Amino acid sequence: MLSDVIGGLLPSALGVALSPVPIIAIVLVLGAPRARSQGAAFALGWILGLVVVSLLVVLVAGGSEHSDEPSAVLGWVEITFGVMFLSLAARQWRTRPGPGIEPATPAWMDAIDTMGTARTSAIGAALSGLNPKNLALTAAAAATIGQAALAGPATGVAIGVFVVVGSLTVAGPVVVFLVAPRRSAGPLRSIKEFMSAHNAAIMMIVLLLLGAKLVGNGLAVV
């Protein structure tokens, strides 16, 4: 049962991990004068946001009645999220920058390398726990965990797997930077440039795949 739940939540976790904006943000933070403290703060905020949303949804979903069959309510939730992701994928494609046009970045991102640790941590938590796409993905994964009626330790393992996979592209660069700050500078800069240049395409593909998967999962149980 636990392996089935983990297999079901991995696509959502990967969708969270492949969000270009937080990846670009953490690279900018790691280029700041206080990179060590700010990078750790951003990563901890990101992880905390995923944990809090996951726990809340698991508690709500776990409080409902369970059966051996997948919940039709969960199926409709997955369909709703899936349709939303497909719509967002279409919007990403329609609003993508034209050839030779540099994508605009949010105003807060331009100043993130000058922020204090508390504000940097808050931004990390907001990007993981309050960002609409990540919030929907986390809620869908956590609802799957809650509806599975796993034992307490197994529920903790499932949430832990989701948070770890969803944090690989944010906490991972921080760990690499702390271990080898000079050697990691070039690769991190290349990652930032790639993510910035192909933000719309990456998001469109991720949303399209996740949307199709969620709609398919939902239709299978309603």
Domains: count for the chain: 1
Tokens representing residue 103 in the block:
């994508």
CA dist., res. 110 & res. 194, Å (int): 17
DSSP type of residue 76: H
- Determine whether 7 is exposed, middle or buried from the number of CB atoms within 10 Å of its CB (0-12, 13-18, 19+): exposed
Region 150-162: what's the mean pLDDT? 88
Confidence label for 175 from pLDDT (cuts 50, 70 and 90): very high
Q: pTM of this prediction?
A: 0.82
pLDDT at position 104 is: 64
Range of the domain at 189: 2-221
CA dist., res. 43 & res. 40, Å (int): 5
Region 179-207: what's the mean pLDDT? 85
